Structure 1
């Protein structure tokens, strides 16, 4: 219990200390106009309040990651707490803040455009393909998981296929309609449900004196699966997630002032970390150790854990509300995943999105591909999603490091976590069955060597960009109103 409570406290302290430190390094410009006003088009660029943006951002980035990931990460024991806390404060929240703020400074640009500007034009094409693939995987995964949870919640009274069709219909509407019509109106209420459900489970854990294990580096996994690097790909959204880099530009286009960025971007990642801590603690403490947890996961997946935890902690009615809160997570990330994919493709092809028809012909192929992907085994989709997710996070962190390097500011706050995860990303794909299947010792060597080469190339490109005075931001006076 002490480790759990200390972790929660550290996350909160991290927001007020390291979050403020990161904000100071970046340098907020209070007087600078934001894309929400300069490019207001009534569709994607719409000014919204800080509280509304914060709740929407939390729902956009959360998905099932801070619930399902920590539940599966609990199989490794309390070491999961370390990655959630350290990863969230020094990697995930930094990643989200820099991505959001750099996007604000560059007309609300998405990650592919930022990668093109700061890492080279070739990266624009690479990251475009990578980002759209990731978003399609996210959207597809976040159709399957909430549908399965709803099916369990309703005791199978409504066919799974009908639930999936209903979720797809909602996604289509949320993808095509202006951001303030569905997302802006419903998300604050969904956000409240999410927070209430997580807080309810957290209070239940403390009030009942749940036997949450204390800090230990012992590997609880009986198959002796290596904690490193697997823990970083099991727990993603609760600590660091490249998916967030695809979501923050949605809110960078609706943020009223730069000073709101720390609460919206850094703060909501901290909130996600707290949610991840609660679900990891619940999974570790309520099922008689590893064997009980593993048996229930094998029988019903993470959804069964969510249902069991919610009922134990909050009773039948409260438990149902808690499950609904978890159902909201993937749905409210799936719709913005498709929305982000539409915006990225439109940006790449330079197609204005004010006309409904322009949005429609981009969205239809996306949903058609997603329907096909739902036929693939979920576990395979999840593994590819996890790797693509963290690889995207590395790209975003290197974009942040390049921005700060050119600005002659402390770029280490982004380069250190980016370099660390670069080693993990390369090592994982070299060792994993979905990758090259090399022995772990060989994969580690390849991870360090590959990362060293890419970091050297980064410094070479960074020095050149600084020497050429690469502009860090778009001059507001030169911004064109969106047609």
Structure 2
């Protein structure tokens, strides 16, 4: 119990201490006009209140990631707590804040445009591919996971296929609505369900007489029953809740609705801290109620949704347990919607398809949903594996964009460079060792090659950064964030 409570307290303290430093290092300008006001279009650029933006950001980034990830991460034992707390404060929350604020300074630009500006135009094509791949996988995963949960609490006549179809209908309707109508109206209610259900799970766990594993010298080891090594697997299993590249595709959406830069720490950094709290609670619940073998069997026999059901019913009973499951369901549905909305705008920007009419919106949206519908037939665990890989590669790209931004402006860039190097090395090891890459296993050769590749990439990154800085004029827009309005806005803006 002490580790759970101490971890949550550390996350909150991180918001007030490290989050404040990150905000100061970025250098906010409360008097600066934001894209929501300057580019108001009544569709994507719509000024909204700070609380509404915050709850939209939380529901956009959360999905089933901070629940399913920690459930699977619980197989490693209490060591998972360390990654959630440290990863969230020093990595994930910084990652989310920086991309959100850099987008805010660049007309609400998405990650591919930011990568083009700060890393070079050729990089834009690579980032576009990764962003679109990631969003497609996220959208599909966040259709399949809530569908399984809904099936578990609804009558037998409502089949899984019917539920998936209904979710896509909801997505289609919401995608074509202005953001303040699609998310601004519904999400506050979704957020209330999420917060109440998460608190109920946490309080029932703490005051229900359950033995919550603590992190001690004796438990500081790998408990995974399958023998899977902690590095790099844990850092891909628990992504949402620690650090997640998916968030870099969502922050620009809220950057387009924020009214003041001083809201950024609460909206971007703070909501990632909130996600970390959710992750801590579900990791603790999974470790407390099941041993590793049982937990592993439940996950392998289906998806982590089975664990969600059991935890909810065991801690809260049938009625309130069902409400808690609904609280989990709203996360992936809301994140899936935002993933497809981002996928539509990024695809339209990349292909130069005007989004000013409903016909053109549907021209992009419907084919994307058709591809996702096909992918829902793929085994969930396979989808999750590819999602995690694409997710963390995107996180590396986002951290490198943030580092270049800080470097060019003579700010402390180590706050993003250090987590960026760590995640880059983890991604390269993952590619060399896992079957989805070179399948070499965690051998000495894999580690050596990963080290060489990581160093090579960082040398290239550093040299191109120095060259870029040498060639900058003091009045350059890269230094002063002074852009002509609409520089990075698609034709619908």
TM-score above 0.5: yes
- Alignment coverage as a number of residue pairs: 482
Could you say if the C-alpha distance between residues 376 and 300 of structure 1 is closer, same or farther in structure 2, counting changes exceeding 3 Å? closer
Distance in structure 1 (CA, Å) of the matches to 2:17 and 2:328: 30
Distance in structure 1 (CA, Å) of the matches to 2:314 and 2:224: 25
Is 1:412 aligned with 2:391?
Answer: no
TM-score normalised by length of structure 1: 0.97
Match in the other structure for 1:68: 68
Is 1:293 aligned with 2:300?
Answer: no
Distance in structure 2 (CA, Å) of the matches to 1:394 and 1:168: 30
Q: Structure 1: which 5+ runs fail to align?
A: none
Return the offset for 1:479.
4.1
Pick aligned residue for 2:254 from 247, 251, 254: 251
Contact 1:151-1:157 within 8 A present in 2 as well = no
Return the offset for 1:476.
5.7
Pick aligned residue for 1:475 from 459, 462, 482: 482
Return the offset for 1:465.
1.8
Contact 1:428-1:443 within 8 A present in 2 as well = no
Return the offset for 1:195.
1.0
Match in the other structure for 2:338: 336
Q: How do 1:346-361 residues align onto structure 2 when only pairs under 5 Å count? A: 346-361=348-363
Distance in structure 2 (CA, Å) of the matches to 1:377 and 1:261: 38
Q: How do 1:143-182 residues align onto structure 2 when only pairs under 5 Å count? A: 143-182=143-182
Contact 2:236-2:392 within 8 A present in 1 as well = yes
Distance in structure 2 (CA, Å) of the matches to 1:343 and 1:217: 44
Deviations 1:435-480 (A, max 9, x none): 1111312222122111111111111111122122252365366447
Distance in structure 2 (CA, Å) of the matches to 1:375 and 1:439: 28
Match in the other structure for 2:322: 320
Return the offset for 1:357.
2.1
Contact 1:43-1:353 within 8 A present in 2 as well = no
Distance in structure 1 (CA, Å) of the matches to 2:485 and 2:252: 20
Deviations 1:282-336 (A, max 9, x none): 000012x212222332334311111111112222221111000101111000011
Match in the other structure for 1:447: 450
Contact 1:39-1:45 within 8 A present in 2 as well = yes
Q: How do 1:126-141 residues align onto structure 2 when only pairs under 5 Å count? A: 126-141=126-141
Match in the other structure for 1:233: 236
Q: Give the superposed CA RMSD.
A: 1.4
Return the offset for 1:222.
2.5
Deviations 1:323-373 (A, max 9, x none): 001011110000111100111122223444332222111112111111121
Distance in structure 2 (CA, Å) of the matches to 1:442 and 1:100: 38
Match in the other structure for 1:269: 272
Q: Is the partner of 1:181 in helix, strand or coil?
A: helix
Q: How do 1:78-93 residues align onto structure 2 when only pairs under 5 Å count? A: 78-93=78-93
Contact 2:175-2:182 within 8 A present in 1 as well = no
Distance in structure 2 (CA, Å) of the matches to 1:58 and 1:408: 31
Distance in structure 1 (CA, Å) of the matches to 2:395 and 2:172: 27
Distance in structure 2 (CA, Å) of the matches to 1:120 and 1:477: 19
Distance in structure 2 (CA, Å) of the matches to 1:335 and 1:443: 38
Q: Structure 2: which 5+ runs fail to align?
A: none
Match in the other structure for 1:438: 440
Q: Is the partner of 1:3 in helix, strand or coil?
A: helix
Match in the other structure for 2:393: 391
Contact 2:225-2:293 within 8 A present in 1 as well = no
Could you say if the C-alpha distance between residues 436 and 281 of structure 1 is closer, same or farther in structure 2, counting changes exceeding 3 Å? same
